[in-house]
């Protein structure tokens, strides 16, 4: 006698997640990777699109985008706008994305003065002048947080946010809850 046929369980649709980095140190991505073996559980629930984990360079339509870094140049602004356009939910990750972070320390100085100071060394080596190649992104006069250019749905503060804060944010969103980060999940090293 044959066993009765049963329908195979329907796999739940995985949340599609993308990450990118603008002007910053990439420390937020490193902290995200500190979720360690929990990343295996996360991979059961999400599919990564653009991310250093996948090496995909352009973001396709995604449910969730995590973005670190501020806006220092025209290319950062372009990447941010494209990323926002493709992400249903956007999370500003870390101090640089939220308020400009360390790159914004230059905001009280004149950009021309900064460039002249930086490239003075090149002058001493016999290669005078500030580079003016069309391949180089046009620097902005000031460093800007990303919420000044696009709508941000959630902010994950820290420098960098700890792995447990990433985990809490992601598990709250996966469960359909508004992310809440209690005391102990926020720090600035």
Provide the pLDDT confidence category of residue 62 given band limits of 50, 70 and 90: very high
- We find that the CATH architecture of domain 15-107+139-174 is 3-Layer(aba) Sandwich (3.40)
Strand pairing of 139-144 and 71-73?
antiparallel
Look-up of token digits 């090293």: 189
Write the pLDDT tens digit of every residue in 84-99.
Answer: 999 999 999 999 999 9
CA distance readout (Å), 85 to 148, 149, 167: 15, 12, 25
pLDDT at site 143: 97
Write the pLDDT tens digit of every residue in 119-159.
Answer: 776 556 666 678 888 899 999 999 999 999 999 999 999 99
pLDDT at 29 over 50: yes
Enumerate the H helices of the chain as residue ranges.
27-33, 38-45, 74-86, 94-99, 111-124, 163-174
Provide the pLDDT confidence category of residue 22 given band limits of 50, 70 and 90: very high
pTM of this prediction? 0.85
- Residue extents of the structural domains in the chain: 15-107+139-174
Return the percentage of the chain with pLDDT > 90, whole number. Answer: 65
> What whole-number distance in Å separates Cα of residue 140 and Cα of residue 22?
13
Provide the pLDDT confidence category of residue 107 given band limits of 50, 70 and 90: very high
**Measured CA angle at 48 (ends 67, 19), to 5 deg:** 10
| Encoded tokens for 23 | 């002007």
| Encoded tokens for 24 | 């910053």
The DSSP 8-state label assigned to residue 28 in this structure reads H
């Amino acid at each position: 006698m044959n066993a009765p046929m049963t329908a195979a369980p329907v796999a739940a649709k995985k949340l599609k997640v993308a990450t990118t980095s603008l002007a910053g140190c990439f420390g937020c991505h490193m902290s995200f990777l500190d979720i360690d073996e929990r990343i295996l559980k996360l991979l059961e629930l999400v599919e990564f699109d653009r991310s250093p984990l996948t090496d995909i360079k352009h973001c396709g339509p995604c449910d969730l985008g995590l973005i670190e870094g501020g806006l220092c140049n025209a290319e950062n602004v372009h990447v941010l706008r494209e990323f926002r356009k493709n992400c249903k939910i956007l999370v500003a990750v870390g101090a640089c994305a939220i308020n400009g972070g360390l790159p914004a320390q230059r905001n009280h100085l004149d950009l021309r003065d900064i460039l002249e100071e930086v490239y003075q060394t090149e002058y001493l080596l016999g290669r005078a002048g500030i580079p003016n190649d069309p391949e180089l992104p046009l620097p902005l006069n000031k460093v800007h947080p990303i919420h000044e250019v696009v709508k941000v749905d959630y902010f994950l503060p820290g420098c960098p946010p700890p792995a447990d804060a990433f985990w809490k944010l992601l598990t709250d969103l996966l469960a359909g809850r508004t992310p809440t980060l209690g005391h102990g999940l926020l720090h600035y090293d």
